[in-house]
Amino acid sequence: MRLRRLGAAAAATVLGLACAFARGAPAAPRPSAALRVFAAASLADAFGEIAREFERSHAGLRVQLNLAGSQQLEAQLEQGAYADLFASADQRWMDRARDQGLLAGEPAIFARNRLVAIVPATNPARIDRLQDFARRGVKVVLGAEAVPVGAYSRQVLRNLSSAPGFDPEFGRRVLANVVSEEENVKSVVGKVQLGEADAGIVYRSDVTPALAHFVRVFEIPDSANVLATYPIARVRGSRSPDAASEFVARVLSPGGQLVLRRHGLLPAVAVAP
């Protein structure tokens, strides 16, 4: 009896493993039932809305968003992850994807973004102006250098260091205040929102109405700001190239651009306000 039960258990284990293998091996959706979009973390809300609209107009199609730092998405693509579309928060990682032969067709710029500085609403470090970010002991959180927002932030700090009213050492001092280098912009937002960090640099589009209650925003003058550029491209090996192209067209359409604008991004295509 015991033996038989043991045998059954062993068989079930093997069977279960085999099933797990069969189901887990190809990371591909059923043909044209799902559109997998790898999108920069800062696109979470805007692409979420566009994806829902897209599903409504394409019965039976599901849009799966994989949201992370652009550098992480690109690394996943390099490792063979399946995606139909890649939307990056900067040109660097899109270029890298193209150099690696991961793309099908040319990337299209669909949005732009600006950076802002944020501090918790409680303002524990008593920051009154941007210059205070360089004060000793202020806990600053930035994106890591590899993350688009991290590279943009460092560019902004360099720009501010030569801006009127700022110390030439401003950028170096702020970098010396960094207590954590986050892997995507939403992690920077989280650390500031929770009040654990004294200050951070994020995209303007990250300051959603929901977040606005938790943080205070310090604008970075346009002259020192950067214009983040968001390209989107179809991924080589996509099983739904038509749906992917339609999704890109939707993002670039006046309707799509309005959604992006509503979520704080700057449209890349001229639209009526």
* 69 interacts with other proteins by CB under 8 A: yes
* 153 interacts with other proteins by CB under 8 A: no
Instruction: Assign 75 to helix, strand or coil.
Output: helix
Q: Nearest distance from residue 151's CB to other proteins, in Å?
A: 11
Taking a C-beta distance cutoff of 8 angstroms, is the pair 87, 37 a contact?
Answer: yes
Cite the DSSP H helix spans in 25-129. 44-57, 70-78, 91-99
Q: Which residues contact 62 (CB under 8 A, 6 or more apart)?
A: 33, 34, 35, 55
* 179 interacts with other proteins by CB under 8 A: yes
Taking a C-beta distance cutoff of 8 angstroms, is the pair 118, 199 a contact?
Answer: yes
Q: Nearest distance from residue 5's CB to other proteins, in Å?
A: 11
| Contacts of other proteins in 120-149 (CB under 8 A) | 122, 124, 139, 141, 144, 146
Among 173, 191, 204, 250, binds other proteins (CB under 8 A): 191
Taking a C-beta distance cutoff of 8 angstroms, is the pair 84, 29 a contact?
Answer: no
Q: Nearest distance from residue 112's CB to other proteins, in Å?
A: 24
Q: Nearest distance from residue 152's CB to other proteins, in Å?
A: 16
Q: Strand 228-235 and strand 62-68: pairing? A: unpaired
* 71 interacts with other proteins by CB under 8 A: yes
* 194 interacts with other proteins by CB under 8 A: yes
* 4 interacts with other proteins by CB under 8 A: yes
| Contacts of other proteins in 195-224 (CB under 8 A) | 195-197
Query: What does the angle CA 37 – CA 42 – CA 46 come to, to the nearest 5 degrees?
Result: 65
